Amino acid sequence: MRTLVLNSGSSSVKFRLYDGDRVVDRGTVERIGEPGDAPKDHEAALAQIMAGLDLGGLAAVGHRVVHGGLRFAEPTLINDEVVAGIRGLVPLAPLHNPGNLAGIEVARRLLPDVPQVAVFDTAFHRTLPPEAATYAIDADVARRHNIYRFGFHGTSHAYVSRRTARLLGRDLADTNTITLHLGNGASACAVEGGRSVATSMGLSPLEGLVMGTRSGDLDPAIVFHLRRTAGMGVDEIDDLLNQHSGLVGLCGVNDMREVLARRADGDGAAALAFAVYCRRIRSYVGSYYALLGRLDAITFTAGVGENAAEVRAAALDGLERLGIAVDAGRNTSGSGERVVSPDGSPVAVCVVPTDEEGEIAEQTRGVVAARG
């Protein structure tokens, strides 16, 4: 069975074509909308991708969809009504759901007879207990406007926590892990026996860790202050916090490779950005350790988590008293799924490359098979 997976991000589209569970074609179109040779929008990027693919015998298309709201808790066969539901969630994921929708629309137009499935970032976090999903604001306002913690990167946190238990030879049901998905967007998740019980992104993918262009946690009064004192409009503040904050806001670049290079060259702004980024991770690790009560593993994943040994070392430095240590030699060598803590550490520190597309392909095949 051949399955196409589309992961339309805020500024890129990743695709993979599978034959069964084997990858037969893959690629990424980046810098969508930026000046130069890049496609002008997601539609153009997708048209370019589809034109280059051999789509003969395609049995299904799986789409990553970032926000599923309260409604979508499972991988869902796409029809007009589902598309309308995803469109209704655009205000809560303005950087993501529009690109996801563009992917769905282009694929449905070009492949009208092929079933399409949406796999939601929020789905894995539907197990959050009420005290984790609830914001301490007026309960009626929250209910009327669907203001809850939804959480994102769920496909990645689910996959990585499962692989971590396997890597350690443990039963998933008896493993407590903190997963750190550090990509362009970044989030932490406390996984107790395979279930998400805490996660750092909230109503939208803006909350929590410091990201490439997003601020993560901040005092909400900053928003009122910018509105009243700096005279900024709401859309302007939204743009500031989503696109011009985080690493890029602090030191002018959003790519961690460039931040590390500048820091090594003595750039003070890059050093501060790195310190703020790592400190935030560390404070979530401490918080989630306390929430879980017992911690078996901490796992780093995605572009930064998989590749930036300096981030792993700095975020967990000096935590031996908590049973957490990173072995310098292991941390700076090796590839693929691996343990980077010393032998016998009470908490294993792991690196596990994520595979959102592989997970989406599997769930898509499941939905299509169940449909008969």
Q: Are the C-beta atoms of 99 and 49 separated by less than 8 Å? A: no
**Is-catalytic flag, 121?**
yes
The one catalytic residue among 121, 267, 296, 355: 121
Q: How far is CA 366 from CA 1, 64, 65, 76, in A?
A: 11, 15, 17, 10
Residue 108 assigned ligand-binding role:
no
105 assigned binding-site residue: no
One of 307, 331, 341, 363 touching ligand ADP (CB under 6 A): 307
Shortest reach from residue 226's CB to Mg ion, in Å:
28
State how far the alpha carbon of 290 is from the alpha carbons of 136, 190, 311, 321, 325, in Å. 20, 10, 22, 14, 17
Residue 256 makes contact with ligand ADP by CB under 6 A = yes
Give min distance, CB of 223 to ligand ADP, in A: 25
- The annotation status of 194 as a binding-site residue, yes or no, is no
Query: Residue 66 binds which one of ligand UVW, ligand ADP, Mg ion, none, with CB within 5 to 8 A depending on kind?
Result: ligand UVW
CB atoms within 10 A of CB 142: 15
When asked if residue 212 is in the footprint of Mg ion (CB under 5 A), the reply is no
Backbone angles phi, psi at 286, to 5 degrees: -60, -45
Q: How far is CA 90 from CA 83, 87, 223, 276, in A?
A: 11, 5, 21, 30
Residue with tokens 């539907």: 126
Out of 183, 194, 249, 303, the residue judged to bind ligand UVW by CB under 6 A: 183
Cβ-based nearer residue to Mg ion, 11 or 215: 11
Question: Is 358 among the annotated ligand-binding positions?
Answer: no
The minimum distance between CB 9 and ligand ADP, in angstroms, equals 5
Minimum Å gap between C-beta 13 and ligand UVW is 11
User: Considering beta carbons, is residue 210 or 367 the nearer one to ligand ADP?
Assistant: 210
Q: Is 103 a binder of ligand UVW (CB under 6 A)?
A: no
79 is in an annotated binding site: no
Cα angle at 248 between 64 and 42, to 5 degrees?
35
- Residue 62 contacts ligand ADP per CB under 6 A: no
Assess 126 for contact with ligand UVW (CB under 6 A).
Answer: no
Per CB under 6 A, 9 contacts ligand UVW: yes
207 is in an annotated binding site: no
Q: Confirm or deny that 185 is annotated as ligand binding.
A: yes
Q: Does 304 bind ligand ADP (CB under 6 A)?
A: yes
Tell me the closest approach of the beta carbon of residue 125 to Mg ion, in angstroms. Answer: 16
- Interacting stretch for ligand ADP, rule CB under 6 A, among 182-190, 218-226, 313-321, 345-353? 182-190
Site for Mg ion in 160-199 (CB under 5 A): 183
Answer whether 351's CB lies under 8 Å from 300's CB.
yes
Residue 283 Cβ vs ligand ADP, minimum distance, rounded to whole Å:
21
184 interacts with ligand ADP by CB under 6 A: yes
Site for ligand UVW in 271-290 (CB under 6 A): none
Enumerate the known binding-site residues for ATP.
Answer: 14, 181-185, 255-257, 303-307
Residues engaged in binding ligand ADP (CB under 6 A): 9, 12, 183-185, 212, 255-257, 302-304, 307-308
Residues engaged in binding Mg ion (CB under 5 A): 183
Residues recognised as catalytic = 121
